[in-house]
Amino acid sequence: MIKRVGFIGLGNMGGPMCSHLVEAGFEVTAFDLNSDALDRVVAGGARPGASAAECARDAGALITMLPAPPQVESVWLGFGDEGGVIAALAPGAVAIDMSTSSVAVGSRVVAAARERGVDVLDAPVAGQSIGAQAGTLAIYVGGDSDVFERARPLFLAMGDPERIFHLGGNGAGYTVKLLLNLMWFIESVAVGEVLTVGVRAGVSLEKLHAALVGSPANSVFLERDVRMVLDDGDYDEAFPMRLVTKDLGLAVDLAHEAGVPVELTALVEQIHRRVRNLYGDDAGEISAVRLYEDLAGVRLRLG
């Protein structure tokens, strides 16, 4: 049974996730380069780690929640003359990366871990920062089934029990997360485009939105997620455009590796890169809707 947990990466997602592990009774040692982020989880009962390696020592499981594949690779495998945290884990420990990363980086982590006798799971999450705070994340796990079962209590502390998915071997979690992100970003473009055209064509936004929600074309994004924009003008800066374009780039790479032509994916990626160039790295993840608003000279607001 896993009792001691290391947690590295305490941002908008990782901070609340770490805190839920503490609340569930795990002994957590945490680390982040941002001292304020570390102080917040320490105030909630986590032990501060002086380094990433210190989080790994004596841990039954080590979790990372990092921005992108380069950070995942450098933390787990090291860079230059510095070793990564895999080298600090004891044989039999479980290495769990919950970042949205690439299968290629994950494969290198698995290979290094095997040499140490360390088990690996990729377990990226979905549910935005609100889900991280509420402990209701969806978790998409790749790795051996017995390792997944050992780590299940950790996932239950951070996620919705009905949405913790074991999807297959190592890499399956990364793959599914990239694909669901891709679907979401495709929908953000499609919904922004459709609503803008409808409003410019003279249909009331309220009636248009209600009709689409009540139609076979409805989706979670259309019914729920876009309401942040329609109700409050909130484009969700908790997940910035620099990470959106990172995820879309990884999805394009995944498609190329799978040998599948993805013309729509490539176009959606380019639209989001245009959004990033216009509104900046920190623009919210639903800013594709803002692009269509600006192009059409309208604001999509209910009420």
Q: Based on the domain organization, do 55 and 161 belong to the same domain? A: yes
> Which of the residues are catalytic?
177
Is there a domain that residue 303 lies in? no
Q: Based on the domain organization, do 116 and 204 belong to the same domain? A: no
Please tell me the total count of domains within the chain: 2
Per-residue tokens: 53: 């390696």
CATH number of residue 196's parent domain: 1.10.1040.10
For 8, 75, 112, 114, 225, the CA distances from 84, given in Å and listed in that order, are 12, 5, 10, 14, 38
Residue found by looking up tokens 């009331």 in the block:
204
Encode pLDDT of 17-43 as tens digits. Answer: 999 999 999 999 999 999 999 999 999
Q: Name the domain boundary from 110, 145, 169.
A: 169
Encode pLDDT of 274-287 as tens digits. Answer: 999 999 999 999 99
Encode pLDDT of 219-264 as tens digits. Answer: 999 999 999 999 999 999 989 999 999 999 999 999 999 999 999 9
Backbone angles phi, psi at 259, to 5 degrees: 75, 30
Round to whole Å and give the CA distance between 104 and 139.
20
Q: Based on the domain organization, do 133 and 243 belong to the same domain? A: no
Encode pLDDT of 65-85 as tens digits. Answer: 999 999 999 999 996 556 799
pTM for this model (two decimals): 0.94
Segments forming the whole domain that contains residue 247: 176-296
